[in-house]
A and B are shown apart, each in its own frame.
Chain A
């Protein structure tokens, strides 16, 4: 079982969380012309990295906050967790 450290609640079991996919995907800026390709990349296309992967999770059965988790997709090791709006250097 995964153990995810919620930045608000602390270490909790995977059962309390639901997955939200790749956190590096950015919605195109609405105030400029957006090409079909940009929409495709936002809606459908994914890198699906093997190794370190930054992803969204929601602490659904807890504080209900969305968080970012840095996790290895090959070993399932979790390196770090962040608040959803936290800048990651």
Chain B
């Protein structure tokens, strides 16, 4: 594989950049693999990469129904953070933050990681108290957290509405300075390119149609491009988890819901942080192209449409304008939707299943993108060693029956009601 470097860039300039290697190949499926990962999104690609890199398992196939990076890894608002209160989420995400910081060097691919900091705004005394508690919990887990008062927030984001007579005045905020954003497509492509170079087969336009399970063991999968034998299958299919679970006669604590995001027309730099509205559900950052990247609530009903509805968009942007009134002057450039695997406590599942050789990675709710490296790393460990790592031990499938829920947001069993 050609290394991406200034030297190679200059060298290839002499041949008009016509002789670069393909970033990844387009192989036909082999008859058998050691591990098959279903889903060529961020998590699936990262899992294959860490299987090869950390566990020397390279006879791996990634089976993708469409094209790699065409699902949620290409549809998110690119926010990376570890501002969680509960230990399971906090330690897992902070482990991921470390992988994010090294990612561009590790993958030899510029993922444009920008640790610009995230500010969660507080709009009441009670919320300031709750943020102080969460901030302290974060610091106990070694995560940076700064509680900001109103004046400190005003210094950082003066364009927010700091007038006295608004419905939700800004009391202050909780900031994680090391949080940030990254270029989402580059994350998928970077993982794909490295995984491919280590021998992983990335098989696109290949839909999984069934599984061969005998005596409680997985023996292979059936796809639209033929049968593939394997002893280990990892499911990384986010919003399509329930569709595949049905083929395995499993019902999971997951519902598939629709989440929208949008970008405004590009404008000059105004916002150099990620900011979330505390009185509702709205988050915003500015991309390197100048677009304001915004998102918020789910549409609120089960959906596989990957296409949103206007009432939710209107609701979300109303919150945005309440927080930063200048947004009302901007034109909308693009809106889109993705389908989320909403787990019943709002936390993910990375675990083995009752079927020998079948591993499950799902339930990412609103936070799949930032979890990409940590999810891939722990899932690769779980598959390779056939046991969970301590980082994902809490994300078990049976926690719903044993009562060890990780209810980070306190939303109970219906995480899509918010």
Interface residues of A (CB under 8 A from B): 1-2, 13-15, 18-19, 21-22, 36-37, 40-41, 43-50, 53, 55, 71, 73-76
Q: Which residues of B contact A55 (CB under 8 A)?
A: 301-302
Considering only CB atoms and an 8 Å cut-off, how many residues of chain B contact the other chain? 25
Decide if B253 touches A1 in the complex (CB within 8 Å).
Answer: no
Q: Which residues of A contact B243 (CB under 8 A)?
A: 50
- A-B contacts, 22 of them at CB < 8 A, read A1-B309, A14-B309, A15-B311, A21-B255, A21-B302, A40-B401, A44-B344, A46-B242, A46-B252, A46-B254, A46-B255, A47-B246, A48-B242, A48-B256, A48-B302, A49-B302, A50-B304, A55-B301, A55-B302, A73-B304, A76-B303, A76-B305
Top 6 A-B residue pairs of the complex, sorted by shortest distance between their CB atoms: A44-B253, A48-B242, A45-B251, A44-B400, A19-B301, A44-B344
Q: Is the interface of B mostly helix, strand, loop or mixed?
A: mixed
- Contacts A22-B302, A50-B304: A73 and B400 contacting too (C-beta < 8 A)? no
Decide if A21 touches B242 in the complex (CB within 8 Å).
Answer: no
Q: Which residues of A contact B305 (CB under 8 A)?
A: 73-76
Decide if B414 touches A45 in the complex (CB within 8 Å).
Answer: no
Residue of A nearest to B345 (CB): A44
The smallest beta-carbon distance between A33 and chain B, in angstroms, is 17
Q: Which residues of A contact B304 (CB under 8 A)?
A: 50, 73-74
When chains A and B are docked, how far (Å) is the Cα of A14 from the Cα of B416? Answer: 17
Interface residues of B (CB under 8 A from A): 242-243, 246, 251-256, 300-305, 309-311, 344, 400-401, 413-414, 416-417
Decide if A45 touches B256 in the complex (CB within 8 Å).
Answer: no
Q: Which residues of B contact A74 (CB under 8 A)?
A: 303-305
Most buried by A among B246, B304, B309: B304
When chains A and B are docked, how far (Å) is the Cα of A88 from the Cα of B253? Answer: 26
Q: Which residues of A contact B400 (CB under 8 A)?
A: 40, 43-45
When chains A and B are docked, how far (Å) is the Cα of A55 from the Cα of B253? Answer: 17
Besides A1-B311, A19-B300, 20 other CB < 8 A contacts?
Answer: A14-B309, A14-B311, A15-B311, A19-B301, A21-B255, A21-B302, A40-B401, A41-B251, A44-B400, A44-B413, A45-B252, A46-B255, A47-B251, A49-B302, A53-B302, A55-B301, A73-B302, A74-B303, A75-B305, A76-B309
